Structure 1
Amino acid sequence: MTTSLQTKNALNMLLAGVQWLFFLFTNTVMVPLSIGHALGLEPGDIAASMQRSFILTGLLCIVQIVWGHRYALMDGPAGVWWGLVLSITASAPAMGMDAGTVAASLMGGFLLSSMLVIVLALCGFITVLKRIFSPIVMGVFLLLLTFQLANTFFKGMIGYDQQGKWDLQIAGLSLCIMAVVAIVHLRGKGKLGQFSLLIGIGAGWAAFAAIFGTDSRIETTGAGTARIWEWMPWGTPGWEPGILLVGLLAGLVNMTNTITSLTAASKLFQREAAKHQYIRSVLFTNGFSIIGACFGLIPFGTFASSIGFLENTKVLRRAALFVGAALFIVIGAFPVLSGWLVQLPMSVGSAVLFVAYLQMFGTAFRTIQGTAFNAKTIYRIALPVLTGISIMNIPSSAFTEFPPLLMPILSNGLVIGVMMVIVLENVVRWEKYETKALMGAPVSSKQPT
């Protein structure tokens, strides 16, 4: 009886690990691909970069859950840096720089920014950030992150192309996948509901292959022949002042991901994160960012979006992430396995994660729960959220009139929204308006019955 129970537990842990594996993969694979194409790298170099990204992401996750923040949270290529790199490469011609110069300067920015964040963490700057990141700031951050991710994955699941058109067949299949995930999650009995994402990926992948074939639309040519561990593949680090300045700002913004992620995780796990957990998390994340920069990878960050995944699966054990991260390392180490995994249609992964990230919307609202709003104090959350969403819906080409080095920041709705709410929370005395609203409230003449 005991052996049977152990076997069942081991199988459940393996399935939970595979579910984490697909979460890690879906949040990682497009980063080296898109950046490689933006920098004009050869297919073999892109494939090698993808393998390095898989291996280092898996290693960082294991290091974090064993010695770092010790939560079941993903650490991987940071979204803030991803958007920044793509924006800078797109505006390189306006700055009079070729792709090689931009790549070298970006590497210098990665190294300098990561080193600065490590120094700030050791000097106690995390305590300052924790004071700045009030529940309102964290709520706005999570709301904007939810909108940003939902927008990204919605486009992926409907087959949205560069011409701005839908693929109705892919969109229809994605809708069915979403329904399957939601039904299994809501109606699944016992452990079944915990594996709704894995079931959605498996069923969706099989359906996609049956309808459209096995073409992943992801180019992987040369993965078996490229040198995986090529030192400084982007050349000697450059020190372009403008790119370095923007990079330092991105590093500070990325540092706030740790604060938001660990604070939200503390509530989910019902275990308050200690000061040393914040410091270790930042040290390991940026230490791996320095290593990754030397191998042509963007800096890493703690994924606040892991909260939505955890709330959807209800699998909070670190062992599950450990298994998934270990599998991710194995996948990255063998080109044959990497080539197999990238056959996962991005529309399937996007549809599944779209459902998972719906949970983050609830997390954001619970973060600001208990705060009373009136006609005046509503500005503290409405202004940054709606401004950020508005910027997210404006094409990046609309920002070409701005100075090239300000484009990556000004065109990022998440960054602008967070900066705005931080300013509002630290400049405006909102309690004064709350008091006035309370004193000026009309008093009913009716007596209670």
Structure 2
Amino acid sequence: MKFKYGLEDKPPIFQLIAFGLQWLAITVPIIIIVGKIVAGISGGSSEEQILYLQRLFFVVGVSQLVQILFGHRMPLIVGPATVLLVAIGASQGFGQSVIDTSIVISGLILALLAATGLFARLRQLFTPRVVATILILIAFTLTPMILNLITSTFGTISPFENLVFSLLLLLGIFAANKLLAPGFWKSTLLLWVIILGSIIYLLIFGEHFYIGEDTKIIAGFFHSLSFDFSVNPGVLLSFLICFLALSVNDLGSIQSVGAMLHTDHMEKRVTRGITLTGLLNVGAGLFGVVGTVNFSLSPGVIASTGVASRFTLVPTALGLMILAFLPKAIAFMGSIPSVIIGTTMIYIMCSQIAAGLMTAFHAQEGFAFEDGLVMGLSLMLSILISFLPQDVLITFPLFLRPVLGNGFVVGVISVLIMDHIIFRKK
């Protein structure tokens, strides 16, 4: 494929800004969606949730800039890792300091594995059916959280009304995805879904955006930073397994763009990229926000624009950091109804499942009945654990609850046992 601007080309300043704004329009909805979910899980006042989003915008912006200048040095979107939502949701009740510490330690371990070359040995665990299962597990184990977002009520709005609205909006999203030609509009579909969906929802149900009166926190998220080191072995193990999945996502994203652009020195780019992903997650933990990862949707954007220059993401990174210091703008974006967030998450997770199925069925050795058994048990166990009632979970030993009570962790452990021990291919 021939590109208008290659990897190391620098477009004229106005074109550079225009392309950067396009990347920004794609990145912002993802940050808002994941950030709102995590901020909602941890609770807190509306001002604290705005503060969380400010920190997340800043961390993602810095991560983006560092990766394109010093890491993999390719046009790859960086965003909050959805897989870590699973560990964060399963670790509630153990304290924010335990979660932050687990992200810091897990990020540091990932960075050390990548920098020392040990990560290459771990890659042997990631067979096609393991990777496929992990991709699908992320979607399935987030289902309870998505369901809560869709059915949560405000005022006189009933869960049934929210559910009907969500289903109709979903049909509209998939119809738009089918009808839109590849390009700017399709690449920024999530942005328009959030904007138009929120407007329609507010018109139907009479809701209104709320922007806090006191948002005098333009630089406050620096001054209010604090970190308390606190380790819980069960929570840490849960995060380590989620970081295993995060590394799979990171590796796949870097390699997919590298293959598309026929980039040289890919081994070095992979090593630098994953090492920095680990270190940037350490920074995310110190800032008290969810960690970051390279996103796999970048090749579609590059193909639709014909622009492969990594420098087009510099304005994107700077724009994210500027938004972090605009609490009024963050408050406005953060006031999106939860049903819209939940519905867009369903769409994102459907893409995740599609990627998993493609990985499974396009494997070189084909897809056999045993492959279905390996994946099937892991998926069934993860669903059962994810939907366990709270009164059952509290009967688990406290130190095992973050592991055995986490559907994703149970699913990953079971697929590794099934793939590498019970149904090991000779």
TM-score grouping bracket, smaller chain normalisation: 0.7 to 0.9
Instruction: Name the amino acid aligned to 2:76.
Output: A
Inter-partner Cα distance in structure 2 for 1:167 and 1:320: 43
Inter-partner Cα distance in structure 1 for 2:131 and 2:56: 28
Q: Write out aligned runs for 1:422-437 (5 A).
A: 422-431=416-425
- Answering whether residue 389 of structure 2 is matched by residue 386 of structure 1, we say no
Q: How many residues align?
A: 403
Aligned to 2:240: 251
Once the 2 structures are TM-superposed, how far is the Cα of residue 85 of structure 1 from its aligned partner? Answer: 4.3
Once the 2 structures are TM-superposed, how far is the Cα of residue 132 of structure 1 from its aligned partner? Answer: 0.8
Instruction: Name the amino acid aligned to 2:392.
Output: A
Once the 2 structures are TM-superposed, how far is the Cα of residue 399 of structure 1 from its aligned partner? Answer: 1.8
- Answering whether residue 223 of structure 2 is matched by residue 230 of structure 1, we say yes
Asked if the contact 1:380–1:421 (Cα under 8 Å) also holds between the matched residues in 2, the reply is: yes
Q: Which stretch of the first structure deviates more once superposed, 47-56 or 129-138?
A: 47-56
Once the 2 structures are TM-superposed, how far is the Cα of residue 422 of structure 1 from its aligned partner? Answer: 1.3
**3-state SS of 2:223 partner:** coil
Inter-partner Cα distance in structure 2 for 1:301 and 1:423: 28
Once the 2 structures are TM-superposed, how far is the Cα of residue 366 of structure 1 from its aligned partner? Answer: 1.4
**3-state SS of 1:285 partner:** helix
**3-state SS of 2:80 partner:** strand
Aligned to 1:440: none
**3-state SS of 1:228 partner:** helix
Return the index of the structure with the highest Cα Rg.
Answer: 1
Instruction: Name the amino acid aligned to 1:27.
Output: V
* Aligned match for 1:302, one of 286, 289, 293: 293
Aligned to 2:5: none
Q: Which stretch of the first structure deviates more once superposed, 246-255 or 340-349?
A: 246-255
Q: Which stretch of the first structure deviates more once superposed, 331-340 or 188-197?
A: 188-197
Inter-partner Cα distance in structure 2 for 1:265 and 1:76: 16
Inter-partner Cα distance in structure 1 for 2:34 and 2:225: 24
* Aligned match for 1:406, one of 393, 400, 407: 400
Aligned to 1:445: none
Render the CA deviation track for 1:292-312: whole Å, top value 9, x for unaligned. Answer: 3333334x1426xx4469769
TM-score normalized with structure 2 length: 0.79
Inter-partner Cα distance in structure 1 for 2:297 and 2:152: 24
Inter-partner Cα distance in structure 2 for 1:173 and 1:398: 32
Inter-partner Cα distance in structure 1 for 2:300 and 2:414: 28
TM-score normalized with structure 1 length: 0.76
Asked if the contact 2:382–2:408 (Cα under 8 Å) also holds between the matched residues in 1, the reply is: yes
Instruction: Name the amino acid aligned to 2:278.
Output: N
Runs of at least 5 residues in structure 1 that lack an aligned partner in the other structure:
93-101, 433-449
Greater RCO (CA < 8 Å, at least 6 residues apart): 2
**3-state SS of 1:72 partner:** coil
Aligned to 1:418: 412
Relative to structure 1, is the Cα distance of residues 188 and 292 closer, same or farther in structure 2, using a 3 angstrom cutoff? closer
Render the CA deviation track for 1:354-373: whole Å, top value 9, x for unaligned. Answer: 22432222211111124445
Once the 2 structures are TM-superposed, how far is the Cα of residue 196 of structure 1 from its aligned partner? Answer: 2.9
Inter-partner Cα distance in structure 2 for 1:12 and 1:115: 33
* Aligned match for 1:361, one of 349, 353, 374: 353
Runs of at least 5 residues in structure 2 that lack an aligned partner in the other structure:
1-11
Inter-partner Cα distance in structure 2 for 1:52 and 1:8: 29
Render the CA deviation track for 1:385-408: whole Å, top value 9, x for unaligned. Answer: 222222222234422122112111
Instruction: Name the amino acid aligned to 1:388.
Output: S
- Answering whether residue 41 of structure 2 is matched by residue 34 of structure 1, we say yes
Once the 2 structures are TM-superposed, how far is the Cα of residue 229 of structure 1 from its aligned partner? Answer: 0.8
Instruction: Name the amino acid aligned to 1:351.
Output: T
Relative to structure 1, is the Cα distance of residues 199 and 161 closer, same or farther in structure 2, using a 3 angstrom cutoff? closer
- For the aligned residue pairs, the C-alpha RMSD in angstroms reads 3.7
Instruction: Name the amino acid aligned to 1:34.
Output: I
Q: Write out aligned runs for 1:14-53 (5 A).
A: 14-35=21-42, 37=43, 44-53=47-56
Render the CA deviation track for 1:370-427: whole Å, top value 9, x for unaligned. Answer: 4445555532221112222222222344221221121111121111111111122221
Render the CA deviation track for 1:105-146: whole Å, top value 9, x for unaligned. Answer: 444444433333332322222112211111111010011112
Relative to structure 1, is the Cα distance of residues 75 and 13 closer, same or farther in structure 2, using a 3 angstrom cutoff? closer
**3-state SS of 1:405 partner:** coil
Asked if the contact 1:194–1:314 (Cα under 8 Å) also holds between the matched residues in 2, the reply is: no
Aligned to 2:6: none
Asked if the contact 2:249–2:296 (Cα under 8 Å) also holds between the matched residues in 1, the reply is: no
- Answering whether residue 212 of structure 2 is matched by residue 209 of structure 1, we say no
Asked if the contact 1:61–1:325 (Cα under 8 Å) also holds between the matched residues in 2, the reply is: yes
User: Identity of aligned pairs, percent?
Assistant: 16
Aligned to 1:75: 79
Inter-partner Cα distance in structure 2 for 1:312 and 1:411: 38
Once the 2 structures are TM-superposed, how far is the Cα of residue 59 of structure 1 from its aligned partner? Answer: 1.7
